[in-house]
A and B are shown apart, each in its own frame.
Chain A
Amino acid sequence: MALKDTVSRAYSNWMAGSGPENDIVISSRIRVARNMSHFAFPHMLSLEKAEEVIHALTLALENKDLKFSSGHLEVSRMSELSPVERQILVEKHLISPDLLKGHEKKAIALRDDEVLSIMVNEEDHLRVQSLLPGLQLESAWDQVNRLDDELEKTLDYAFSERLGYLSACPTNVGTGLRASVMVHLPGLVHTDQIKGVLNTVSKIGLTVRGLYGEGTEAAGNLFQISNQVTLGHSENEIIQNIVSVTKQLQEREKTARKALYNERRSQLEDRIGRSYGILKYARILSTDEAMKRFSDLRLGIDLNIITDTKPELVTELMVLTRPAFLVSKAGSDMTVFERDVKRAELVRNKLKVK
């Protein structure tokens, strides 16, 4: 079964090291919210009605034209998965944590390459999404748009001439589009510029948040940038806005990295070298420490300070060492301490000097 494969490996195509601008932009995601008319929104649906929604989508996905243009997406009900397997889908960024709540009504349709997927009965009936490595929002939109066009041939969408695609929450109405990029900004963090930069970004209608970690703390120096507003602009305008802001961020990050490299080279190499050493030889690693060290390692690879490890391995490790993944590898419940030991062991093995 395809989904069982998905939850048994950490690697996903969005982690590929070959994406455009991949040294700073880790991945690009496009998601659109769609609802079917004649059905109440998911939180109001009975189990039977929720099942009808899943069934309607399953039939729509069987359509020949759809299969021709978007490939085969396999529908799996969330209830078919164990809690750990469900958590793994979250850790791989394939589903949102919201899809775990009330999972008996919910499902996911996933293409084998894990690029294209549909969350079913989350906040909206359908959340069609595409996830690609590097800065590729346009191609991600292209994939989502094509699948959406095909779905719409057989499904009746809730649409208003004035307000566009209708969503359960009024914050998603209109295009229903959320475009986001995951960016790695260690240069801006280490040169203390990150606050100012992120403040500016949030003033021009974009949302920035740390990808992991609580509150404003961004573990692993990973940030997610996405559009705030879904109504009034065309899909293309929304995407172009994020692309141009991301390119700006990229320039700033490159300048910061250059400054660190030129002006504080020894400190930089020392930090990266220590982190690499710890990852290679430590026996106990907490999630937070691991994320911090991964960020240093990744920066070292991007700056050619470390040459014997590939960047996609670091991204894979970031997912592989999340709690649910470790539990699934160990096959039994673990205490936090046992997890930290297991995490260190896993990282050691992956980074083994050949």
Chain B
Amino acid sequence: MLCEKCHQNEAAVHFTEVINGKKKEMHLCESCASELQPEGFSFMPQINFHNFLGGLMGHNVGPGSFTKTATKDLSCEVCGLSEKEFARRGLLGCGECYESFKHTLDSLVKRIHGTNEHNGKLPERSSDRVKLIKEIESLRNQLRQAVEAEEFERAAQLRDSIRDVEKRLEQEG
């Protein structure tokens, strides 16, 4: 879609405002939009769940401002989805996107779920490797708790178990 004002650049800023039940939509390119903003237009960005997510990624500077698109745009090598596109739709393109956009997704996922670590079911077929890694993680957690509680005997046992599992992990290759 082309910018409504200059009809030259691709529109990157979209907003809708509703005054007395009348809806007004505008689609502008970044430069036209930035010309408009200082005039004191109180355009509110469109808020829906998915571009709200995009906002959490730092592509939207908060309420009362424009839906602004990222300046540096990264794309997923596998499916071709750009980070900008993800910010707009709130949907990733493929499983690999989680790796491609790791730097922004990591903090986003943490803000949504409060953590970055899966603690649920593992696919049966997932390699024994994954299971061993998860086991070590859980043992390390227990070790930390044991040390905090000054249960040193238990801590020593846990440390040995961690070594055992690590050895098994090495053998798995």
Residues of A participating in the B interface, judged by any CB pair closer than 8 Å = 35, 37, 39-41, 43-44, 123, 145, 148-149, 152-153, 157-166, 168-171, 173-175, 177, 229-235
- Min CB distance A147 to B, Å, is 13
CB neighbours of A37 from chain B (8 A): 95
- Min CB distance A23 to B, Å, is 32
CB neighbours of B124 from chain A (8 A): 149, 152-153
Q: Are B113 and A230 within 8 A (Cβ)?
A: yes
Give the complex CA separation of A232 and B130 in angstroms.
16
Give the complex CA separation of A231 and B108 in angstroms.
12
Q: Are B113 and A229 within 8 A (Cβ)?
A: yes
CB neighbours of B170 from chain A (8 A): none
CB neighbours of A163 from chain B (8 A): 98, 109, 116, 118
Given contacts A231-B113, A232-B113, contact A174 B118 (CB under 8 A): yes
- Min CB distance A163 to B, Å, is 6
CB neighbours of B79 from chain A (8 A): 40-41, 44
Interface centre among B93, B98, B117, B123 (most CB of A within 10 A): B123
17 contacts between A and B (CB under 8 A): A35-B95, A148-B121, A149-B124, A152-B123, A152-B125, A161-B133, A165-B118, A169-B50, A170-B92, A170-B108, A173-B98, A175-B120, A177-B120, A231-B113, A231-B115, A232-B117, A233-B120
Query: Which of A152, A153, A166, A229 contacts B112 (CB under 8 A)?
Result: A229
Q: Are A40 and B53 within 8 A (Cβ)?
A: no
CB neighbours of A123 from chain B (8 A): 91
Give the complex CA separation of A157 and B108 in angstroms.
23
- Min CB distance A274 to B, Å, is 37
Asked whether any CB of chain A lies closer than 8 Å to the CB of B47, the reply is no
CB neighbours of A174 from chain B (8 A): 113, 118, 120
- With CB as the reference atom, state the residue of chain B lying closest to A34: B123
Q: Are B91 and A164 within 8 A (Cβ)?
A: no
- With CB as the reference atom, state the residue of chain A lying closest to B91: A168
CB neighbours of B121 from chain A (8 A): 145, 148, 164, 175, 234-235
Q: Are B120 and A39 within 8 A (Cβ)?
A: no
> What are the nearest 9 A-B pairs in CB distance?
A164-B118, A158-B95, A232-B115, A175-B120, A231-B113, A166-B95, A40-B94, A40-B79, A168-B91
State which residues 95-127 of B face A: CB under 8 Å: 95, 98, 105, 108-109, 112-126
CB neighbours of A162 from chain B (8 A): 116-118
CB neighbours of A233 from chain B (8 A): 119-120
CB neighbours of B118 from chain A (8 A): 160-165, 174-175, 231-232
Asked whether any CB of chain A lies closer than 8 Å to the CB of B140, the reply is no
Q: Are B92 and A168 within 8 A (Cβ)?
A: yes
Interface centre among B90, B105, B120 (most CB of A within 10 A): B120
Asked whether any CB of chain A lies closer than 8 Å to the CB of B89, the reply is yes
Given contacts A44-B81, A44-B94, A232-B115, contact A170 B105 (CB under 8 A): yes
CB neighbours of A164 from chain B (8 A): 118, 120-121
CB neighbours of A234 from chain B (8 A): 119-121
- Min CB distance A4 to B, Å, is 33
Q: Are A39 and B91 within 8 A (Cβ)?
A: no
- Min CB distance A19 to B, Å, is 26
Q: Are A39 and B105 within 8 A (Cβ)?
A: no
Give the complex CA separation of A145 and B113 in angstroms.
22
- With CB as the reference atom, state the residue of chain B lying closest to A164: B118
CB neighbours of B53 from chain A (8 A): 169-171
Query: Which of B94, B105, B108 contacts A41 (CB under 8 A)?
Result: B94
Q: Are B120 and A161 within 8 A (Cβ)?
A: no
Give the complex CA separation of A10 and B26 in angstroms.
45
- With CB as the reference atom, state the residue of chain B lying closest to A170: B109
- With CB as the reference atom, state the residue of chain A lying closest to B78: A40
- Min CB distance A148 to B, Å, is 8
Give the complex CA separation of A171 and B56 in angstroms.
12
CB neighbours of B112 from chain A (8 A): 170-171, 229, 231
- With CB as the reference atom, state the residue of chain B lying closest to A154: B125
Give the complex CA separation of A118 and B73 in angstroms.
36
Instruction: Taking A40-B93, A160-B98 as given, write out 18 further A-B residue pairs in contact, using a Cβ cutoff of 8 Å, ordered by the A residue number.
Output: A41-B79, A41-B92, A41-B94, A43-B91, A44-B79, A44-B93, A123-B91, A159-B123, A164-B118, A165-B118, A166-B95, A169-B90, A169-B92, A170-B108, A175-B121, A229-B113, A231-B113, A232-B119
Give the complex CA separation of A235 and B121 in angstroms.
7
Give the complex CA separation of A232 and B126 in angstroms.
19
Q: Are A153 and B113 within 8 A (Cβ)?
A: no
